Amino acid sequence: MNARRILLELFDAALRAVDGRACVCRFLRAARLPGSIEVFAIGKAASAMALGARDVLADRIVRTLAITKDGHVDPDLERAPGVTILESAHPVPDERSLAAGAELQRRLRELRADVTPLFLVSGGSSSLAELLREEATLEDLRSLNRRGLAAGWDIATLNAERARLSQLKAGGVARMLAGRRALALFISDVPADDPDVIGSGLLGREAGKPDAIERHVIATLEMAMLAVIEAAQAHGIELQSRAARVDGDIGEIANNLIEAARACEAAGLVWGGEPTVTLPASPGRGGRNTHLALTFARQLRAGEPWLLLAAGTDGTDGPTGDAGAIVDAGTVDRATLAGCDVERAWREFDSAAALEAAEDLVHTGPTGTNVGDIMIAIKRTTESLRGQPRPRMV
């Protein structure tokens, strides 16, 4: 089996380990929630998580509100009774984000006393649903998100700025519950897997104010990386895993990654995190992962054996429909022969154009999860290693 096929299988193993539907199912089967349930699913993985709740709770769910990104709706959820689906904007909010926030508030106010609210929260929630403070405007919110994305703010800075404009962020939903019992399950895409940070803290705790919300993180980047290591072992490949998340400037991370690969005595590496990138005024098509992959490819010497997969576990890379890319020492030459000016594409953050020309892009479609980005590097000598492909579990 060739090395590219192996990389795709390792990435698939990561996705299966943190699949939103499967993770919600596992938790709820063990939790044995009593009584009637109302489901609120918010984020890129909202559809998958809501389906996981339906798999276990079935007709005990009185109604479901799912707020998710355009194009991330599972057809099975569309066909389910009692489900309201709101597709909204990401990464920059729009009027639909405000409508989704208003519907969320309305339903929270209407909660019956005999119903337990179940919140299913994943990355992307910050942009998808919003309820502004009286003095704030949608343009204030959009401008804030654009500035943060362009400047590569870390999640703590971005969340602090969002909270100044929002009634939902920094524990807004917890405040609306006014002390009533609730269960909240999270798929984490943030450092330290902190529920006070996921989704800008929609279900976060207010300092000094106890509440009755039971919070559990059910899928993490660490779980995805462990699945990569185990799947690689099934192919006879030993990977070195970086324990610390890779967050920060994408150029520095790419440099560190190629240095680590060249010094690696194992067959490969697996890293995870969410690098940040500072964008020019008019960037081209691309995201964190394609820019990192192209940066890595530019630094590879002719004949070096390394291949790198860099991809978002949500199946999207920034504002694109690409998940990421797989690159090697021939990537730049293939793109150049196809007519792409690779240096221009790299400078102008048009990385996906170069990688499309090289036929190196990776597409998965919406994955039903979102735990951050995965970077897997392996040596081409693994092409002859043992192992058989495993089908994607649905």
Residue 367 has pLDDT above 60, yes or no: yes
Q: State how far the alpha carbon of 375 is from the alpha carbons of 49, 160, 200, 276, 334, in Å.
A: 25, 28, 25, 14, 22
More confident residue, 109 or 380: 109
Per-residue pLDDT tens over the stretch 85-102:
999 998 888 999 999 999
Q: What percent of the chain lies above the pLDDT cut of 70?
A: 96
Q: How many CA atoms lie within 13 A of 87 on its CB side?
A: 7
pLDDT of residue 181: 95
Instruction: Provide the pLDDT confidence category of residue 163 given band limits of 50, 70 and 90.
Output: confident
What are 227-250's pLDDT values in tens digits?
999 999 999 999 999 988 998 899
Mean pLDDT for 258-283 is 92
Which pair of structure tokens corresponds to residue 291? 């820019």
The 10s digit of each residue's pLDDT in 21-79 is 999 999 999 998 999 999 999 999 999 999 999 999 999 999 999 999 999 999 999 99
Long-range contacts of 110-115 (CB under 8 A, 24+ apart): 111/38, 111/180, 112/36, 112/38, 112/62, 114/35, 114/36, 115/35, 115/36, 115/37, 115/38, 115/62
**Which residues sit opposite 264 in a β-bridge?**
none
The model's pTM is 0.92
Buried b (16+ CB within 10 A) or exposed e, 236-257: ebebbbbeebbbeebeebbeeb
Of 149 and 272, more confident: 272
**Per-residue pLDDT for 388 more than 50?**
no
In angstroms, rounded to a whole number, what is the distance separating the alpha carbons of residues 187 and 47? 13
pLDDT at 386 > cutoff 60: no
pLDDT tens profile 174-217: 999 999 999 999 999 999 999 999 988 899 987 777 789 999 99
Domains detected in the chain: 3-15+222-384 (3.40.1480.10), 19-219 (3.40.50.10180)
124: pLDDT strictly greater than 80: yes
Say if residue 332's pLDDT is above 70: yes
Predicted local confidence at residue 394, as pLDDT = 29
Task: Return phi, psi of residue 54, to 5°.
Answer: -65, -35
Confidence (pLDDT) at 278: 83
Q: Indicate whether 158 pLDDT > 90.
A: no
Q: What is the pLDDT at residue 1? A: 63
Identify the pLDDT of residue 393.
32
pLDDT bucket at 391, cuts 50 / 70 / 90: very low
Average pLDDT, the chain: 91
Segment 299-315 mean pLDDT: 96
